[in-house]
Amino acid sequence: MNLPAYTVTRKPVKYTRIRVLPPDGRVAVTAPRHVSERDIARFVLEKRAWIVKHQERMASAPSLPEAEPVPEELRPVLYAKIGPLVEYWADRMGLVPPTYSVRRMRSRWGTCNTQRRHITLALELARRDDELLEYVIVHELTHLYERGHGPAFKAIMTRYLPEWPGLRARLNGR
């Protein structure tokens, strides 16, 4: 069996981790400093089916051409939409509204720093339907209750936004 091409970054981490990165599906491995190259290669080989599955999914997902970055003039438009949505959903979910920001993101629609109570949203959301922006905001606010994406997280999402699985699928081009 062929070993997929990959790059290795050594960090002070506990476990070896594999990511398939957009837009081209390259494979990045993060490994503890003490793990040998042979063990990393064995790990990548064991995860080959998972890697191929994610590379195929990424190849079939629609993406915007590199030549069409989101115009910076859409940033204030996006901020104007985010403010009322964060206020509305934070109130509805019984949360103090967190701070928020917008930035160019290549592989995520949003992030939530639970300690700082800050959400960051992808500028690319300026090109998406408002209901998809709303889904991402509810998703990130839910992380203020539940850090992971397990059953408790899904239950909270379903409670506040029952149609979230369909919105997620639309957002991710599936």
Domain boundaries, position 94: 74-171
Q: What is the pLDDT of residue 64?
A: 44
Work out the pLDDT band at 59, boundaries 50, 70, 90.
confident
Q: Domain check: are 154 and 96 in the same one?
A: yes
Is the domain of 92 the same as that of 161?
Answer: yes
The answer to whether residue 51 is domain-embedded is yes
Q: Are 136 and 110 in contact (CB under 8 A)?
A: yes
pLDDT for residue 99: 97
Per-residue pLDDT of 163-173, as tens digits, reads 999 999 999 88
Overall residue count recorded for the chain in this entry: 174
Assess whether 93 and 10 both reside in one domain: no
Tens of pLDDT, residue by residue over 7-43, are 999 999 999 999 998 778 899 999 999 999 999 999 9
**pLDDT value of residue 3:** 83
Residue 100 sits in the same domain as residue 49: no
Q: Is the pTM of this model over 0.75?
A: no
For residues 167 and 86, membership in a common domain is answered with: yes
Sorted by sequence, the CB contacts under 8 Å of residue 162 that are 6+ apart come out as none
Residues 46 and 88 in one domain: no
The total of structural domains in the chain comes to: 2
